[in-house]
Amino acid sequence: MTEQPINGFHLVRHPIADLKVTALRDKNTPAPEFRRLLQELSQLVAYEALRDFEVESCRVETPLAPARGARPVRPLVLVPVLRAGLAMADGILRIFPSAAVGHIGMFRNEETLEPVSYYFRLPPGAAGAHVLLLDPMLATGNSLAAAAEKLKKEGIPRMTCACIVASRPGVERLRAAQPDMPIFGAALDEALDARGYITPGLGDAGDRIFGT
Ligand code: URA
């Protein structure tokens, strides 16, 4: 973990987030707890990442009197990168149940570390939505850069990327590809290993979520 800031990357700083990241990193944390922690951390990261989610004022009737409320200017669409992003979407849907969900299927060619796309589906109306692009591990940045590029081509006006652990080289790569897309995460690690895994990271998030 680093304290050195990096442009365009917003590190969620909170003792509760730090405690949860520590438990996530622990190799002895079993899959059910890992999944729950990842979902809870996703809520904390989304809470910060959606600070600029636009709402407009509206009227709401309480049992006693009218009150001023807020409603979304545009819909929220969560786009998890399969498969580890699914656990993030599960967590965020609990605090934003009306969000729609699209899916991007990407896997890494383990030799070239380049992303290979195998699935892309967005809900109707996504082109006018605020999209939260989800992947717990921003490692090389190649998959997220390819995913963001696909979304950009759909004419998405507002995109924010939310991850749990990011690597510095991954943030730099993603920033170079999408300089206008803010990136939020709960931890920033300095390095990648030869296989493109974040070190110290937390291992393979998909395997740890799904117990594979
Ligand atoms: N994907 C993971 O799950 N972990 C990493 O460290 C890198 C990619």
- Ordered mean pLDDT values, 10 residues apiece, the chain (212 residues): 79 97 98 97 98 97 98 97 97 97 89 86 93 97 95 91 97 96 97 95 96 88
pLDDT at position 1 is: 61
Full domain range(s) for residue 125: 9-53+75-201
| Residue to substitute in 204, 209, 210, 212 for testing ligand 1 pocket (most ligand atoms within 8 angstroms of CB) | 204
CATH of the domain at 168: 3.40.50.2020
Task: Answer whether 197 contacts ligand 1 (Cβ < 6 A).
Answer: yes
Q: Is residue 15 included in any domain, yes or no?
A: yes
**What is d(CA 143, CA 138) in angstroms, rounded to the nearest whole number?**
9
Asked, for residue 167, whether it belongs to a domain, the answer is yes
Count each helix (H run) and each strand (E run) in the chain, helices first. Answer: 6, 15
Q: Separation of 57 CA from ligand 1 center, angstroms?
A: 41
Report if residue 58 sits inside a domain: no
Say if 92 falls within a structural domain. yes
State the catalytic residues: 108, 112, 204, 207
In a domain, 4, yes or no: no
Nearest CA to ligand 1 atom 2: 204
| Alpha carbon nearest to ligand 1 atom 4, residue | 204
Q: How far apart are CA 140 and CA 85, in angstroms?
A: 16
Q: Where do the H-state alpha helices sit in the chain?
A: 15-25, 31-49, 85-95, 142-153, 168-177, 205-210
Assess if residue 122 is contained within a domain. yes
Quote the pLDDT of residue 107: 83
User: Minimal CA–CA distance to 147: which of 172, 120, 167, 114?
Assistant: 120
The tokens of 96 are what?
A: 């934003």
* Closest alpha carbon to 100 in 137, 73, 135, 74: 74
For a ligand 1 pocket test, name from 110, 202, 207, 209 the mutation site with the most ligand atoms within 8 angstroms of its C-beta. Answer: 202
Domains held by the chain: number? 1
Q: What's the pLDDT at 114? A: 79
Ligand 1: does its nearest atom lie under 6 Å from the Cβ of 33? Answer: no
Chain Cα centroid distance, residue 53: 15
Tell me if 70 is assigned to some domain. no
pLDDT of residue 75: 96
Q: Is residue 64 part of a domain?
A: no
Residue nearest to atom 7 of ligand 1 (CA): 197
Report d(CA 131, CA 50) in Å as an integer. Answer: 10
- Binding site membership of 200 for ligand 1 (Cβ less than 6 Å): no
